[in-house]
Structure 1
């Protein structure tokens, strides 16, 4: 039985762990919350309290990684000044966290790493964005994600696949909840780039099953209506106040392509979820 360690059993990591257990994997899962340990254990996950800091890491990290072949890193940067133009504002906190983690990966049984990143590494580039597009982040989190991606990819002790998700949605998570009733919203005709939790989990499962390592994948549903069209429709479906968009046309026409995922993983998105 292949063992996988999932660093970060949160909104995505927890249901991912449960799905992989159903598929016959043994799962080590981490949380930073003491109360959540029993929740993970009840779901059949071997739970560990792991706090990854910029200057230290929990003692449990070695046991958490022990005997696992694959490590999935699913922890968000959570930077306070996410839109800062200066990386010094956050002192490269997220980058340093991963740097602290790497020596433990190197001396563990881990041979493959899947790093959950974000299409924010592309910034507000226009046009069709593929894996060949050079990252050009314009937020602090995007900048640090880009650095971390490179650090992991260049490490010769393990193989790393980078999985860049677009805007995450699910039954309990949708941006229309925050946009409902707001006025003068920008970029009305900009295309949406979203991915549902169920597709996220299924894509990760496909990467593992097909052993697609040393790769980069962009993940966004092949469904790109305008922001105004999409969020107006979703607000009405949920009985929310319809958001009002500015009449100023958008310059941003970024469309994230997932054609590589569809081809290399033979993957079909569940478009009914969008």
Structure 2
């Protein structure tokens, strides 16, 4: 049964946060990857560890390969002997990472508890600070919550509801959905490069017949011309803006100007989804 806003408001507020290990600009991993390492240590096999943390065997190995690559040294030592990989062990470096992560996580929890007790509105502000501090090469960084997940044979179709109610659809592999921990209601962000966004004049007659699954309606808020291309910002609502980079010629042909209704379109395969914790 869905809670009413009044019922949700009466529930006690709690702080939430997560710890991630970084080396320079590289993110090695957070709680889920450290849990996988700990499970490997406890079970002695990739199969057992994957089951213990709720991952598929392939997703577990993908995470291990990523951690080994980013660490610059082995954390998990492969062993021969079939799919189960019996006798798989962690290096001393990996064991040290587990201990350090758990110690830092304990202190992180204490910090959140102290800050939550001392600072009014800390939980919401802290989450927002994490989102706005994110750095990527994608111009469009759109925050929302997972509205639905449609499972396919190989890939999943994930719908992300933006604050204003419009939906972004992304196509990603089962392993990616699993690794990111995507379920209905989970907060996530969508990354879309400005060069992937196509603009169309909105005639108000409904969805345009395009192969692009995502068609977001808004109004032009700014047009910044360069020598060859122009950067066009489209306000979807009071809080969300999508930016497209198109040629100056296209701006002229479409007659784009501030306040004009347009549709920002891009393929579901062009959307990269991520989570902050």
Q: TM-score, normalised by structure 1?
A: 0.23
Structure exhibiting the larger radius of gyration computed from Cα positions: 2
- Between Structure 1 and Structure 2, the one with more strand by share is 2
